[in-house]
Structure 1
Amino acid sequence: MRSTLSRAAGITYGDVLETRARITPARVAVEYEGHDFTFAELNLMANQAAWKLLDLGTTQETPIGVLSENSLDYLALMYAAAKVGTPLAGLNWRLRAPELAASMTVTEPDLLFVSDQYRDLALDAVARLPEDRRPRVIELARATADDGRAALTPALAHAESANPGVEVDPEQVMLIIYTSGTTGIPKGAALSHRSLLARASIMSTEMRLEPEDNYVAWSPMFHMACSDYLLLTHALGGKVLLLAKFDTDLIVDFLTRERVGWLLIMPGILDRMTDALRADPRPRKPVKYVGTMADLSPLESISNITDALGASYFNTFGTTEVGTLPGASSFIPPGADPTVLSKDQSTFCQIRVVDQDGQDVPPKGEGEMLIRTATMFSGYWNNEQATRECTAGGWYHTGDTVRLHADGTYDYLGRLKYMIKSGGESIYPSEVEQVLLDHPKVLEASVIKVPDEKWSEVPAAYLAADGDVTAEELIEFCAPRLARYKLPKHFRFIGIEEFPRNVTGKVERLRLEERFARGPAQGWMAEGDTVGAQP
């Protein structure tokens, strides 16, 4: 039992929504499918869904899973889980059934809520699990009210609509967001109410956000960028445009009507968004910040989109485990042609940059970034070993390599452990290699990251094969087992003896990258532009 002092010291996101519904009931919380929903209406739906979760026997120890595009039902369910203290694990609908089954093995949800669009995928994935670990599947069937607006799905509707009044510890896990492991096995980063509220408070301060600074939630709700900033916007009393997918027309239209604090645009779609903005002559409301991951974005694209919006570029990188710290106050001015992308440290965290022996590096030294902050996650769900490893010594080990400058700024250099970042999605080579090696004609496989004009980086595969095999054949083989953005964009076939190896026998990926950079050679087989990350 928690002490009376600890109970008096904490609130949760369920409390936040309840308060918003009381003090600003008529203020619009969500615009969805062309209709507005107030905080009072959203809170009522969340309360109904909370009672439904209680009827279904959910507990604060066992997560529920959600496989759905962004929707009003998903949003109500997220707040409902917050109100009863049940962790919610958002599942990636871009995955194939085997990958999805692996994700559920990590969190072992008791219930799996599924939209119509992903019903077949969900059933396929669940069938791959052991019978005693299969969640109950509940379909989120679409519903429409008499006024033509979306309504809460019958699966979540309940006669009770008052706050169920369940006591929830602020350290209770609210969301589980998947992040890839170095072996390709997913990990579930557990984010508590405390962590998410700290992120909202700190980022509101760092970005000088106000209630009028609305948010466009087009990226999937299973991503940190969507969930963190959707919740932040509601805490401030702002409006969220909730989209099922990236849609330039709907986003541009929203910008003509509403102020936006941060317009999240991933590297691979910067130019597409710029073109849409320039093609629409209508005057627009102010946007404070645009973009993300400047280090992975073409500099010309950064200049173009900031010029088109008159907004600064958000020059930071973040991790699911700590949010967008520590470079939360780093911005590139509108229209600037940046030559360096150094970042400032937020005062709401401590950082260290250490060498491979754990010693602090001197100015201009390079090493791994370590962080301490109130936004810290609560560990990896059901993975104590990984949690201990990444928080050794009382610091979060980011796995990111940076260069530290004398003035305290730093440059992002890349992942300490090899990872491909394609259009905002993380790809670990070993996962792709394992699938390639299952092909009967593939003897050896090594996947590397290579530059791509649209997605910043894409995977390329070096292969040794026994007999004839084509890139098209390999894509067809991998497609049922890997998300589309994980499929190699390029293939090169070489002799097994040509793989560069170190003294321990491991393939040296950096040398393969150098070989790739030297240009096409005999044996190249390119898949073309039909695969890659999709927004």
Structure 2
Amino acid sequence: METTTRAGELVRRAANPCLPEFLEQQVARHPDRVALKDDSRTCTYAELDQRTNRLVNALAQRGVRHGDRIAILAENRLEYIELEIAAAKMGAILACQNWRQADSELEHCLRLVSPRLVIASARHAPALERIAHGIDTVIRFEDAYEAMLAQASPDARAPDRPLDPEDGMIILYTSGTTGLPKGALISQRAMIARMTVARIDGLLQPADTFIAWAPLFHMVSTDQALATLMTGGTVIVMDGLNVPALVSCLAQEKIGHLTLIPGMIDLVIEELQRSGIAARGVRTLGCMADLVPREQIARITTLLQAPFLNSFGATETGAPPASRAMIPVGVTPTALPKEQSSHCIVRLVDADGKEVPDGMPGEMAVRGPTLFSGYWGSPKETAEDFRDGWFHMGDVFVRNPDGKLDYVDRRKYLIKSGGENIYPAEIERVLLSQPGIADAVVVRRSDPKWGEVPVAFVVKSDPSLQAAQVIEACRGKIAGYKLPKDILFVRDDELPRSTTGKIKRHELEQALAERRVSQANSPVSSIEG
């Protein structure tokens, strides 16, 4: 029996490689190929391997062990990806902090995961000094980081215990229904599976070049960057969105998949037309087509001669469950049916968990190896979302007879603004804490630039309260992109409620569109986060 158990364990290990093994293959095959580069330096696969070995040894010297969390608070930089790889090599978990968050949100996110240490850039380290994060060791990038690596051995270090593909690797934060961010734990298994799906569904080919301009604390950059490295490609790391630099890069490099999100596509179109630059080659582009003006899709695909990805994924799932459809070059779509991604199973279910027939709306439930491993420190919420052995996404779809999927709405109300997810509760919690506000409800409004933006309906208890005061009181308490773009004052009896007292947000959306709600004073317009 013991021999059989041992044999089974050996078979399981052989059948389940870990992420560093995929990178080791690329180091052996292409040691001199560029793995990472930015506008000032490059790093070959051999150099990346040596630097991440040094980083593993340096972190181990500072007490980091298998399963420990390391926090990072930094803009996009080559070292960010070094830390992701080092975490995978030693079985540690990198908690990627969203630097756009307010101080209170950042403190919550750090305390949630109890990191052994935090590594921060000069740009964002001051935020750590303003909060009570409780972390003993803070390391700065640049001099301190490089000195730490220089003093460590470049030799590979065996992990404290054998790596397992189910080892957590990265924590990415998502918006929470209670108003506080949740930490989604993504395993090495999930990252490998996300790479596999990208290969099968045409978002990735060996030796691709990928531009990581979107924040690496988001899955759109981290997932694709790691997948690119696992398949021998090059990742160009950009410090945020710099449209002229991005367009210039397109002229110099052949790109596999180009991430373009709502709110930036019009800027890229303008720069391409202004500069007259022709892209050297883009295979696919875009994401979240539902939130992009349809005419922009036709224009950008024509300019770059590449189809637009009609995607539907999430931090918790990666590109699946429905990111296989492509909108052809030059087409202005009249509908946006999704195609189920490879390597996943999808059901549409009713409130009782029973599968609905074609043509009927149902919540999407997913199974597959790209799934995350639950919300850190939130077993109750994890169990609820994984009920019946399926991950319930909270998104409602209709399946057509041909198998394609039409998006209907969020089961639980969500605002998607420029690639960011915003739950109304996040904003309402802050609004309701302000003096002079008796009630507040946040809804979404369509926006030609960002796709959707939050708008707040406020019942005031202080007649002198002004919209600008409400906005100013929110600043610093929530991330800038979550600030309501309009404050509309209403009476309590103008808030439509169900028989159980719940606000009917969709009726408020309709009233907002028709501008039928009376206002105590003019709304604040075009408030930038």
Q: Deviations over 1:96-131 (max 9, x none)?
A: 110111112321212111111011112223x2x4xx
- d(CA) in 1 for partners of 2:425, 2:145: 41
State the TM-score, normalized to the length of structure 1.
Answer: 0.94
Q: Deviations over 1:39-69 (max 9, x none)?
A: 1111111111111110111122321111100
The letter of the residue matching 2:505 is R
Say yes or no: does 1:135 pair with 2:135.
yes
8 Å contact from structure 1 (residues 15, 83) kept in 2: no
8 Å contact from structure 1 (residues 252, 276) kept in 2: yes
Say yes or no: does 1:98 pair with 2:98.
no
Which residue is 2:431 aligned to? 436
The letter of the residue matching 2:27 is A
Task: Could you tell me which runs of 5 or more consecutive residues in structure 2 were left unpaired when the two chains were aligned.
Answer: 1-5
Identical columns (%): 38
Q: Deviations over 1:304-352 (max 9, x none)?
A: 1111100100001111111111223210001111111001123421111
SS of the aligned residue for 1:526 comes to coil
- d(CA) in 1 for partners of 2:519, 2:223: 48
Which residue is 1:73 aligned to? 79
How much does 1:384 deviate? Answer: 1.3
- d(CA) in 2 for partners of 1:282, 1:15: 39
Which residue is 1:500 aligned to? 496
Map residues 195-274 of structure 1 onto 2, 5 A cutoff.
Answer: 195-207=190-202, 209-274=204-269
8 Å contact from structure 1 (residues 87, 174) kept in 2: yes
Q: Cα 1:220–1:157, aligned 2, differ >3 Å: closer, same or farther?
A: farther
Map residues 25-40 of structure 1 onto 2, 5 A cutoff.
Answer: 25-40=31-46
Say yes or no: does 1:326 pair with 2:312.
no
8 Å contact from structure 1 (residues 73, 140) kept in 2: no
State the TM-score, normalized to the length of structure 2.
Answer: 0.95
Which residue is 2:271 aligned to? 276
- Find the partner of 1:476 among 472, 479, 483: 472
- d(CA) in 2 for partners of 1:468, 1:458: 26
CA RMSD of aligned residues (A): 1.7
8 Å contact from structure 1 (residues 204, 210) kept in 2: yes
SS of the aligned residue for 1:267 comes to coil
- d(CA) in 2 for partners of 1:260, 1:135: 40
Which residue is 1:371 aligned to? 366
- d(CA) in 1 for partners of 2:205, 2:288: 23
Task: Could you tell me which runs of 5 or more consecutive residues in structure 1 were left unpaired when the two chains were aligned.
Answer: 144-150
8 Å contact from structure 1 (residues 490, 525) kept in 2: no
- d(CA) in 2 for partners of 1:110, 1:527: 43
- Find the partner of 1:159 among 152, 167, 186: 152
- d(CA) in 2 for partners of 1:388, 1:136: 32
8 Å contact from structure 2 (residues 486, 527) kept in 1: no
- d(CA) in 2 for partners of 1:371, 1:345: 11
Say yes or no: does 1:512 pair with 2:508.
yes
- d(CA) in 2 for partners of 1:140, 1:495: 51
Which residue is 1:180 aligned to? 175
The letter of the residue matching 2:136 is R
Say yes or no: does 1:55 pair with 2:51.
no
Say yes or no: does 1:525 pair with 2:522.
yes
The letter of the residue matching 1:391 is F
How much does 1:209 deviate? Answer: 2.8
Which residue is 2:388 aligned to? 393
Q: Deviations over 1:105-162 (max 9, x none)?
A: 321212111111011112223x2x4xxxx1234232325xxxxxxx963344433011
Count of aligned pairs between the two proteins: 519
Say yes or no: does 1:410 pair with 2:405.
yes
How much does 1:510 deviate? Answer: 1.3
Say yes or no: does 1:46 pair with 2:52.
yes
User: Which deviates more from structure 2 when the two are superposed, residues 222-231 or residues 355-364?
Assistant: 355-364
Q: Which runs of 4+ in 1 moved over 4 A?
A: none
- d(CA) in 1 for partners of 2:246, 2:203: 22
- d(CA) in 2 for partners of 1:416, 1:105: 30
Q: Deviations over 1:5-51 (max 9, x none)?
A: 33323322222223322221000111112332211111111111111
- Find the partner of 1:488 among 484, 496, 508: 484
How much does 1:418 deviate? Answer: 0.5
Which residue is 2:3 aligned to? none
SS of the aligned residue for 1:216 comes to strand
The letter of the residue matching 1:436 is L
How much does 1:208 deviate? Answer: 5.8
8 Å contact from structure 1 (residues 113, 140) kept in 2: yes
- d(CA) in 1 for partners of 2:243, 2:49: 29
